[in-house]
């Protein structure tokens, strides 16, 4: 999957990270619609990912043209989402690749649950609470390998991240380059990882933590769905523009929270975010 499409230069180079986490979407599309092409494309992507995997199980950061080419924790976790989905759909063909990626993540994790050894060279240095989205990958691998210990590693990371959470739901160290005013993109990653910890365990600790962060994000949302793309620790706007990717990630998490709690403000906020990002769509309560 290309990193981007540019109106002047066309398609960008292939991007292992996003190729990995698009695979589950394609498989889900196949299951929901019967579109066989979606399933074939998912399998083609998986075949490519297994060919570029490092022998130790990791995957590189950046695109296939990025330098330096080094193993990166975050990108490996995102590809792991696709590999785990591939095992669930296609079986044994991708199990070894999934295990090697998951084992590498578990083996390179620090004792407190944080990953520090293999950061991306394409972001500012330092700990990253948004790597709960790596924990999400390990949880999906744990669904395929329940006795593996992958869930223990995943939840250790989520617990570490929640030690960085403040009373108002703010998460420290949660940005690619400026943790004082993080992107909604990385806040969305972090929130999804905490929400997935609840989906896996049904432990209310994770649900309550996810709600605290979600409530902070909702407090920054305008009625028309406008959410500033960077936020301050008191949830006030830090910029005037919108990060559409972050808005959609957060909308997804809010829909998960609505499903679990039945609380309409989460649904209303998710619908507003989606409407802002896709203004010509039709969204109605109950859809």
pLDDT at 226 over 50: yes
Cα dihedral 261, 264, 269, 273 sign: positive
Separation CA 32–CA 28 (nearest Å): 6
pLDDT at 49 over 70: yes
In 163-286, alpha helices (H): 184-201, 204-219, 244-261, 264-277
User: pLDDT per residue over 10-37, tens digit each?
Assistant: 999 999 999 999 999 999 999 999 999 9
User: pLDDT per residue over 132-179, tens digit each?
Assistant: 999 999 999 999 999 999 999 999 999 999 999 999 999 999 999 999
pTM: 0.94
In the chain, alpha helices (H): 16-33, 36-52, 73-90, 95-107, 132-144, 150-162, 184-201, 204-219, 244-261, 264-277
Three-class SS of residue 136?
Answer: helix
Would you state the pLDDT for residue 279? Answer: 77
Domain ranges of the chain: 5-163
User: pLDDT per residue over 77-119, tens digit each?
Assistant: 999 999 999 999 999 999 999 999 999 999 999 999 999 999 9
pLDDT at 59 over 60: yes
pLDDT at 280 over 80: no
Overall average pLDDT of the 190-215 stretch: 98
- Measure the CA dihedral 243/249/253/258, to 10°: 70
Contact by Cβ (8 Å): 87, 98: yes
Residue 144 to residues 86, 91, 133, 228, 279: CA-CA distances in angstroms? Answer: 10, 10, 18, 38, 38
Would you state the pLDDT for residue 283? Answer: 45
Contact by Cβ (8 Å): 243, 188: no
Average pLDDT of the chain is 95
* Confidence class for position 281, pLDDT limits 50, 70, 90: low
Separation CA 158–CA 110 (nearest Å): 13
CA angle 253, 199, 201 (to 5 degrees): 145
Would you state the pLDDT for residue 138? Answer: 98
Contact by Cβ (8 Å): 115, 134: yes
Cis amide leading into 68 (omega within 30): yes
Q: Which one-letter DSSP state was computed for residue 228? A: B
**What percent of the chain is predicted at pLDDT more than 90?**
97
Class of domain 5-163: mainly alpha
pLDDT at 282 over 70: no
User: pLDDT per residue over 230-243, tens digit each?
Assistant: 999 999 999 999 99
pLDDT at 203 over 60: yes
Q: Which of 208, 196, 63, 204 is nearest to 138 (CA)?
A: 196
């Amino acid at each position: 999957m290309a990193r981007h499409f540019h109106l002047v230069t066309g398609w960008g180079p292939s991007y292992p990270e996003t190729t990995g986490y698009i695979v589950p979407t394609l498989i889900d599309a196949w299951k929901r619609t019967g579109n066989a092409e979606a399933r074939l494309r998912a399998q083609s992507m998986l075949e490519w990912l297994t060919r570029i995997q490092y022998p130790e199980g990791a995957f590189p950061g950046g695109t296939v043209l990025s330098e330096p080419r080094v193993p990166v924790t975050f990108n490996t976790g995102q590809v792991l989402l696709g590999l785990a989905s591939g095992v669930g759909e296609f079986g044994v063909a991708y199990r070894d690749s999934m295990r090697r990626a998951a084992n590498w993540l578990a083996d390179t994790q620090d004792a407190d649950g944080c990953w520090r050894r293999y950061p991306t060279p394409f972001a500012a240095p330092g700990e990253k609470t948004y790597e709960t989205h790596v924990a999400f990958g390990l949880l999906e691998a744990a669904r395929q390998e329940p006795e593996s210990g992958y869930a223990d590693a995943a939840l250790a990371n989520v617990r570490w991240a929640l030690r960085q959470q403040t009373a108002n739901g703010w998460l420290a160290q949660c940005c690619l380059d400026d943790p004082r005013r993080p992107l909604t993109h990385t806040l969305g990653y972090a929130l999804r990882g905490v929400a997935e910890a609840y989906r896996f365990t049904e432990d209310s600790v994770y649900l309550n933590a996810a709600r605290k962060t979600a409530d902070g994000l909702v407090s920054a949302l305008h009625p028309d769905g406008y959410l500033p793309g960077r936020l301050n620790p008191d949830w006030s706007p830090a910029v005037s523009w919108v990060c559409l990717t972050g808005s959609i990630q957060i909308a997804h998490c809010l829909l998960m929270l609505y499903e679990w709690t039945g609380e309409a403000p989460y649904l209303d906020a998710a619908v507003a975010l989606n409407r802002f990002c896709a203004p010509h769509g039709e969204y109605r309560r109950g859809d």
